[in-house]
A and B are shown apart, each in its own frame.
Chain A
Amino acid sequence: MYSNYSIDQITSPIYEQVAQKLLSLAKNEEMKRKMEGILYEGGFDNFSINGNFAMEREVLFKNNPTIEASKRLNMAYLLLTNPKIIDVMQRTGSVFFHGTNANALPYILKYGINSLDRSQENNIKVITGEEFSRIHGKRGFVSVTDCIDISLTYAGINPNSKNMKEQLLNFGIIAGVSFQNMEDIRTISINSDISEIAVKDNLPLEHIKFLAVPKDKEEFVKKLVGEKNIEIVGMDLDDKFYILNFSNKLKTLESYREESVDTKTTSKTFTKEDVKKAVETRRFSKIKEIFAKIKKQRSKKNNNKIDIAERS
């Protein structure tokens, strides 16, 4: 059994309509089988959209049939549009999500995900999702959720964001989180009306199993991540399907076209000609200066490494 809820508790006429439409769009029999599992049982093979471990059960207390129904439709749609994500979720047990902005990525790849309070203690200015949801005083935890629609609302700034005064841009990311090894994790109780877990202070990097990024950012983020054990998968983070009500989900599916999903990109790309124009305005003396600055930084870091090695 993959879920605490039976199909009778989940289903409704509109749920059934959306489910049937999703199944009709399945690319092959194997995908259809998995979608049926998600929609009617909450999982397939050894994979449950609610997870199998103690941590995941914490969110079940906040679960209810409506949330469960929405989760199943969203996961079935995710399988339809991004089967790679479902595949990595199944392999790594990462059924939780944390949405953030690409500005956080260099820090996350070194230190893991910090709580808002921990970030601000380290003088990291935070203007993305976590700050919007600070209501009273402290926010010494990292929020992870098993509802992808919630993580998408936290996933950065896009040109359509109504929260930003200026329509500035840096792409959002969804970190896929697994709690298969929980020794270093502490949770705290929070009074929240959404399905989330609060991880105390810091979520270490080893719990992040994948990063979902806009498809045209896949190559770049793969380079950033390097040899770390984190998979990079492309996803349309602006896809409204996940946050729509069931009726509008159905309408969206009725005009669904596979090619339009595959070609979605972030709205801005700099071309070579564009960049070259700016490059040609520089001065050789200034280029030498920045080169020297970087070289100095590298030798400083190497000296620190030598000091640390000598001390130890």
Chain B
Amino acid sequence: MENTQTISDISKETLTFLAYFNNEMINKIPNSVIIKLCEYASDSTLEFFIDPNKNFENQKISEESKDLISLIYYNYIADEVEKKEIENRWNENDKNFEIQQKKIYNSDNLFENSSNINKEYTQSCQENSMIEYKESLLKKIFIKIKNFFKI
């Protein structure tokens, strides 16, 4: 799927997928919303398609379009109970995301990792220390023969 950025492209992509919602969902979306999206979409230069072999969750849709579709679903299609559930999930997802981000970018972790790296480095140095080369008896004989005959 193309990297969509402009509102025109997001609107067109959103419309493409809304068109494949069942009529029960489409009937709940106000005409004014669809018309507005269509207006924005008229300047998009991209084309979008559905993969008939995949469900909605696994379709190739840009993140912005997924967000816009979700906003439309929340505002017009979800009932009051669902809205509460969705709000809670969105907030939870935000919190989980922040926790993950903190783990990745925590400066304490940076230093902790660094000391581990040092330990590993020292260990590998010891393992890879100079390997003593011992000539085989056969090779010693061969060299002596070479020297004897000045080859």
Contacts and interface: CB of A to CB of B under 8 A. Distances in A.
B93 A217 contact: no
B interface, by DSSP: helix, strand, loop or mixed? helix
B121 interface: no
Contact of B45 (A110, A123, A168, A267): A123
B7 A110 contact: no
Contact of B94 (A101, A224, A283): A283
Contact of A106 (B12, B86, B87): B12
Interface stretch (A44-52, A180-188, A284-292): A284-292
A275 B35 contact: no
Contacts of B85: 280
B36 to A, nearest CB: 8
Contacts of A223: 26, 29, 31, 34-35
A268 B90 contact: no
Nearest to A108: B42
A216 B94 contact: no
Given A282-B70, A284-B93, A287-B90, A125 B47 contact: yes
Given A101-B47, A286-B67, A290-B67, 14 more contacts: A106-B39, A109-B38, A170-B16, A220-B34, A223-B34, A226-B31, A267-B52, A268-B20, A274-B57, A282-B90, A282-B93, A283-B90, A283-B94, A289-B67
26 contacts: A106-B41, A109-B42, A110-B39, A111-B42, A123-B45, A124-B45, A125-B46, A157-B49, A168-B52, A170-B19, A170-B48, A224-B35, A268-B52, A269-B22, A270-B21, A270-B55, A274-B56, A275-B73, A276-B73, A281-B89, A281-B93, A282-B66, A283-B93, A283-B94, A284-B93, A287-B67
Interface of A: 101-103, 105-107, 109-111, 122-125, 127, 157, 159, 166-171, 216-217, 219-220, 223-224, 226, 266-272, 274-287, 289-291, 293-294, 297
